[in-house]
Chains A and B, each alone.
Chain A
C-alpha cells in the first residue's frame, strides 16, 4: 500500500510539472517595440515553444462615431464604411479613389493538426472577414461627409495590388494580373479586362500580391509571399515565392527580381533615389521579439535570407536542408520595424498638406497574433534623408485596439496620398477608409 501511495505521489508531481511547463510557454515580449526599430536591431536568441506567444483581441469594430487617434496637428475623417475587407487604396487622376476589397482565398489545405486550431484563434479578431473580391470607387460628395460608393470591378479573386499606368489599370489577383482600360469619370469599369499574366498561386499560405509600376511604367513589381512560415510546407512549393517578381508590362516576360523576402506586402519607389523599397513580414514562432519585420531597399538579384536565415546570417534552425552558400550572401535589411508589427502598407509621402511628414514613409502595421503584448496596430512614419531612413519611427495614427488590448476596432492596411495631400488608410477590420489631413486652424 505504502508503495502505491508513493507511486501515486510521483504521478501527481509529474502531472503538475507537465501542466506548469505547458502554462509557462505563453511567454511575453522582453523588448519594447521601439528597441527593435532601425538599423541593427537587437535580436535575442531564438526559442522553441510548446505554445508560441499568442494574443488575439476580439473583434469589436468602430461603434458610432469612434475613430482612431491621430498625432498632434492632424485630424481624421471616415470617408467610406460598410466595405468588404478593404485592403488597398489608389487615388485616380480625377481624385476618385479606388478601394480593393479582398481577403485570402481560403484555399490552403489543412495538412497539420495545428492549422485546425490556429485558424480559429486568429480569426477572432475580425481579420478573417470575407473579402468583397471587388474594387469600389469612392467619389467625394459636394456637401461633405462620407463619399459616394460605386461597385467598380467585380468577381475578382483575392485582389490586393493595384496600379494605374496611363490608361492601363492593373489589378493583382492572388493568381494573376488583370489589365483594364481606364476611362476617367466612369463609376463602373466598362472594360471586361484581360489577363496580363499569371502569378504563383499554389497553396496560397500568403496570398497578397502587392504591386507597383516602375516610374516609367514599363515594369510591374509584384510581391509574392512565401508559402509557409519557415519552410514547413516543403521547399518545393516556394518556387517564385518569398520574392519580388518583375513583370514586363509589354511582353509579360517575368523574372525573380529579388528573393528571400518572406512576405513583401508593400512595394514603392523611393522618390529621392528612385530605388525600389519594400516592407516585409518576417517569420513567427521563435519568440515574441523575433523576427522584426522590416523596411528595405530591394536590390536586383538580392537575397534577403528567407527561409534559411534572417537579418543576414542568423540561421533559422527549423529549415532543412540548410543552404550555407545562400546564408553567406544574405543581405541585412535596411530598417527594422519591430517584431510582429505585420507591416502591410507603405507610402512615401510627397504632399505639402502634412509638411511635418515630407521626406519619409508612412507604414501601416496590421498587428499579429504571435506577440504579447500587442505590437503594431497603427500607422507610423519613418523619416528619410538622402534616400535612406534617418531616424526612429513616429506614431501617426493609433487607437485601433482598446487600451486593455481585449478589443479590436480596426486594423490599417493600404495607404495612399490624395491630390490634396491627405493620407488615405484602408482599414480591413473596421471595413472603413480613413482620411487624415492637417487640423483646421
Chain B
C-alpha cells in the first residue's frame, strides 16, 4: 500500500472518530444529569430519558471505540497515555452496558445503582480525556508520523 492512500485512509478514520466520539460522551453526561434530576424529583420523564441516552450512547460508541482500539494497539507510536485512555474507555463502556440493563428496571428500581454507574461512566471518560490532553504533544507527533 502506498503512503498517499495510507494517509487519506488515516484522515478519513480521524474524521469519523472526531465526529462520532463526542456523541456517546455527551449522551452519558446528559444521562448523568437526568439521573440526578430523577433522584431529586422522582419525575419519571428523566429516568426514561436517561435510559434512552445510555442505550443510544452505547450504539454511537461502537465505531469510535473500534478506531480507538486500532490506534492504541495496532498503530505505530503507542504512548502510555493512549493505553491508559483505552482502558478507561473500556471501563466506561462496561459500566454503561451494565447501566443500560439497570436502567431497564422500573421506576426507582434503577436507583441508586443507575446513578452510580452513570457517575463511573462519565468519570472514566473525563479522566481519559484529561490524560490524553496531558499527552497532546505526543499525540500530535504520533499523527504526523502516521501522515
Contacts and interface: CB of A to CB of B under 8 A. Distances in A.
Interface stretch (A29-37, A45-53, A121-129, A391-399): A45-53
Contacts of B106: 228-232, 285, 318
- Give the interface size class of chain A: 20 to 34
Contact of A50 (B52, B91, B101): B101
Contacts of B44: 232-234
Residue from A11, A48, A232, A233 with most neighbouring chain B CB atoms (10 Å) = A232
Interface stretch (A108-116, A293-301, A342-350): A108-116
A113 B94 contact: no
7 contacts: A7-B87, A14-B94, A18-B94, A18-B97, A48-B105, A231-B107, A317-B108
B116 interface: no
A38 B109 CA distance: 28
B97 A113 contact: no
B83 A4 contact: yes
B147 to A, nearest CB: 25
Contacts of B55: 113
A234 B48 CA distance: 10
B98 A11 contact: no
Contact of B105 (A7, A111, A233, A318): A318
A50 B105 CA distance: 8
B43 interface: yes
A321 interface: yes
A113 B109 contact: no
Contacts of A11: 87, 90
A54 to B, nearest CB: 12
Residue from B44, B91, B101 with most neighbouring chain A CB atoms (10 Å) = B44
Contacts of A111: 48
A22 interface: yes
Given A11-B90, A18-B98, 14 more contacts: A4-B83, A11-B87, A14-B91, A15-B94, A18-B94, A21-B98, A48-B109, A51-B101, A112-B52, A113-B100, A234-B43, A285-B105, A286-B109, A318-B107
Given A111-B48, A234-B44, A317 B98 contact: no
A229 B106 CA distance: 8
Contacts of A49: 105
B126 interface: no
Closest 3 CB pairs of A and B: A318-B109, A232-B106, A50-B101
Nearest to B78: A4
A114 B107 contact: no
Contacts of A112: 48, 51-52, 104
A4 B87 CA distance: 11
Contacts of A230: 106-107, 109
Contact of A318 (B51, B87, B100, B108): B108
A424 B42 CA distance: 46
Contacts of A234: 43-45
Interface string B78-120: 0000010001001100100110111111111100010000000
Interface in A317-345: 317-321
B51 A114 contact: yes
Nearest to A11: B90
B107 A320 contact: yes
